[in-house]
Amino acid sequence: MQKIKPKLFSTLKKYSKQQFVKDLTSGIIVAIIALPLSIALALASGATPEQGLYTAIVAGFVISFLGGSRVQIAGPTAAFATIVAGIIATNGFSGLVIATIIAGIILIFMGLFKLGSLIKFIPFTITTGFTAGIALTIFIGQIKDFFGLSFSHSPIETVDKIKEIVASAETINFQAAIVGGVTLLILVLLPKLFKKIPPSLIAILVSALLVKFLDLEVLTIGDLYDISSKLPTPSLPGLSFETVKAVIPDAFTIAILAAVESLLSCVVADGMIGSRHNSNMELIAQGAGNICSALFGGIPATGAIARTAANIKNGGRTPVAGMVHAIVLLLVLVVLMPLAAYIPMPAIAAILFVVAYNMSEWREFVHICKTSPKSDVLVLVVTFVLTVVFDLVVAICVGIVLATLMFMKRMSDETNAYGWKEYDEETDAENINLKKVSEGIAVFEITGPFFFGAATKISDAILLHEKHKKVLILRMRSVPAIDASGLHAFEDIIKNLEKKGITLVISHANEQPLQVFKKSGLYNKIGAENFCPNIESALSRAEELAK
């Protein structure tokens, strides 16, 4: 079991000047990449530009300092955009702050109780479904700014946004669309030509210069928001039971999504540097980072896979790089933040189009649809549709319930019980592996887990078996586990056998079922002498009882 200890402390033991130079360089580069993304994602979330930087600065520093990964870079991510926008629209920014603080507390407890490994039990179909759904939601949400549309309403739900886009199609601003198109072209082509240059930063500079010097009628951030370069200061909104009650579901959604995305990012990073993260420490760091972000006026944060990958590619190998990235963004906030007022809104929309495309995992989506069982495809599509039509809370809850039901069905189908035929040398001579079974003995073999999904099926199959027997052998070598429902079914089987005067003999009970039998008292009720280690001894015991 890994100790709950930040990676920073262990990496500093062998820290060198050469590694510091690499971490410093990487931190500066990642900060340049994170700058436009933090602003864009804050705007997509319904927050102000500086709140995106507050998040990257505060949460980025705290999560790197306390984190369980050597190279994780944290900040605002696209996964939270629609959730945050919905919370702000419904409960205001104070409601978001409370929800984020509660989510941070949940994450800390998840780490303290060592629940980091449980995240892997969320099916891949669900994570792919809601990630693709969030990507589509972000894409739809940016169409207005990309084309400079004039909405007569301010819809929150994605379906309503689609209706408003169609209704406002005639208000398209072609100058805005050209600026957005140029920005998108730079974002797509620049990485292919110059891999070391951050495309989003260049795209923003070019688009801002186009609007400024060509005097285009295109909305900029400064037209919509008052830009502030003030340092973030801690504050806590007024608490009320009604607000806390209202945001509890959102807090759990933020916590689960932060845990899933950050640990997925850690796994990707581990593969790139050949290291191993501490999942429980990472959850604690994510919790602390989100609490601090909320207290300093930021929005929810989590590990950012793209920024983490950029950190690794530029030589970052310790949490120092993430801390440098946060400090550089702090300097940018103080010195250069007023310049953000000149960034055109179509450029922000174009950046978010690319973010949505990169996070959509459409290839994985199509691959699952082509190659996976229909039940998995159903879970994927349902989660995707619910994320777009309703929200992530509904999508995750329904997706997990549906995936669980499908899993139960599969396990139930894999669990079977069948009876042996009596050995007949003339008709079954070729079946040399069959054991000879006397006339008064029946042998029943159970395969698969004896759990609630299959308990009734198994008990019915056994009790419907031929009744004119003195001894029934249940061969359980292929039963790895039994649950409470399976145990209850066993009790019913024993009661019915007792009524018919049939003795039960158990052959080859595995460790878990055997411990359950002993704990429940069924071991003594059946009789220790009737638990046999293999079929040969079980048949011998049955022969004695059948005399």
29-66 pLDDT tens trace: 999 999 999 999 999 999 999 999 999 999 999 999 99
Q: Which pLDDT belongs to residue 155?
A: 84
**What's the rounded Cα separation, in Å, for the pair 101 and 290?**
7
For residue 323, CA distances in Å to 268, 291, 350 come to 20, 17, 28
For residue 17, CA distances in Å to 22, 313, 443, 473 come to 9, 19, 73, 71
Q: Which pLDDT belongs to residue 130?
A: 87
Which among 282, 201, 164 is positioned nearest to 34, based on CA atoms? 201
Q: Which pLDDT belongs to residue 435?
A: 62
Q: Which pLDDT belongs to residue 499?
A: 86
Q: Where are the domains of the chain?
A: 7-403, 416-546
**What's the rounded Cα separation, in Å, for the pair 253 and 134?**
13
Cβ-contact 107, 258 below 8 angstroms: yes
Phi then psi dihedrals of residue 409, to 5 deg: -65, -45
Sheet with 471-478, strands from edge to edge, namely: 416-419, 441-447, 471-478, 503-507, 531-532
Q: Which pLDDT belongs to residue 463?
A: 66
Residues of the chain with pLDDT under 70: 1-2, 420-436, 453-455, 457, 461-467
Q: Which CATH number fits domain 416-546: 3.30.750.24, 3.40.50.150, 3.40.50.300, 3.30.70.260?
A: 3.30.750.24
**What's the rounded Cα separation, in Å, for the pair 348 and 343?**
8
pTM (2 decimals)?
0.79
Compute how many other C-beta atoms are within 10 angstroms of the C-beta atom of residue 302. Answer: 28
